Amino acid sequence: MKRDFLTLQDISSDEFAAIIKRASELKSGKDAHACPLMGKSIGLLFDKTSTRTRISFQTGIYQLGAQPIYINSKELQLGRGETVEDTAKVISRYLHGIVIRTFAHSTIEKLASNSSIPIVNGLTDLHHPCQALADMLTIWEQKGTLKDVRLVYVGDGNNVANSLIEAALHTGVDLAIACPRGYEPDRNIFQNVKDNGGNVQLYIDPEEAVKDADVIYTDVWISMGQERETERRRQIFKKYQVNKELLSLAKPDAIVMHCLPAHREEEITSEVLDSPQSVVIDQAENRLHTQKAMLEMLIR
């Protein structure tokens, strides 16, 4: 039976742990010459521009022995009115899986419900599960554990924050999210995780949130599609900048994370982003390894 990976709730906690373990093995070079997906073809359907998602998936699919096929949605008949449903049914006959990076989460749900092959969420406005997998591998590498690690996310309660909330439920991470009123993560995701025992807290004051933090994480204040709100968002979020002063309130050995691209001197200063405490490049590399482990599990 085909499985999709639209959110982190599509896998169990045991599967989450298995992906992190397998990703670490792949990163170490174990099975470097194995090609478990030999003869498969996997589509990369992108509505949004990308650096890390496209390159990491395209490289990882190739390393697993499969053929990556990049698909710009504007070049499909979708751009001339063909429905998502018809497109999904047709390309299911050609491919063994699809990674999609798009805007509305409902689009990926519609694609999944009409496809006979696995659908992987490369990013939607609501979720970014592949990023959260890489984040958890990075924290595990740096701290040796995930259980009870205090992870503080500072900034906009966006798709990254939503997926970190779901990751907390799987891993036992102690997650704090500091954001302005009106910019909280998705209420349903937050409440579902809280109801199921996830250790997640919301804060308004970033200085209070980062006390004793093991990890400080941030993301851009202005995501794709929000450019008209740039100046207003800059004013609202200006006290949520991750800078030297905020970092000093965390534990001395705290690490700094950012899913990139970064808007330097907005949500994070160059001084912090380029500091020895920053692990953002390791974090970006880990997209490759965790996605390979996830695809290996998902596509048979």
pLDDT tens per residue across span 119-168: 999 999 999 999 999 999 999 999 999 999 999 999 999 999 999 999 99
Three-state SS for 293? helix
Catalytic residue among 233, 258, 287, 289: 287
Q: What is the pLDDT of residue 79?
A: 61
Q: What is the pLDDT of residue 76?
A: 82
Q: What is the pLDDT of residue 78?
A: 75
Catalytic residue among 52, 127, 128, 170: 128
Annotated active-site residue 219? The verdict is yes
Which letter, b or e, does each residue of 69-84 get, where b requires 16 or more Cβ atoms within 10 Å of its Cβ?
bebebeeeebeeeeeb
Annotated active-site residue 131? The verdict is yes
Catalytic residue among 101, 105, 127, 170: 101
Q: What is the pLDDT of residue 259?
A: 98
CA–CA separation, 191 and 50 (whole Å): 31
Q: What is the pLDDT of residue 227?
A: 85
**Residues of the chain falling short of pLDDT 70:** 79
Q: What is the pLDDT of residue 75?
A: 81
Catalytic residue among 259, 277, 289, 291: 259
Q: What is the pLDDT of residue 223?
A: 85
Catalytic residue among 179, 219, 258, 283: 219
Per the CB < 8 A criterion, the answer to whether 168 and 139 are in contact is no
- Distance between first and last Cα of the chain: 10
Q: What is the pLDDT of residue 267?
A: 98
Closest CA to 138 of 27, 282, 262, 290: 282
Catalytic residue among 131, 277, 283, 291: 131
Annotated active-site residue 101? The verdict is yes
Three-state SS for 120? strand
CA–CA separation, 225 and 222 (whole Å): 8
Task: Please calculate the CA angle 25-11-168 and round it to the nearest 5 degrees.
Answer: 85
CATH 2.60.120.260 fits 131-283, yes or no: no
Per the CB < 8 A criterion, the answer to whether 214 and 150 are in contact is yes
One-letter amino acid for residue 118 of the chain: P
CATH topology of domain 8-128+287-298: Rossmann fold (3.40.50)
Annotated active-site residue 259? The verdict is yes
Q: What is the pLDDT of residue 286?
A: 98
Radius of gyration of the chain (CA): 19
Domain with CATH 3.40.50.1370 in the chain: 8-128+287-298, 131-283
Q: What is the pLDDT of residue 38?
A: 97
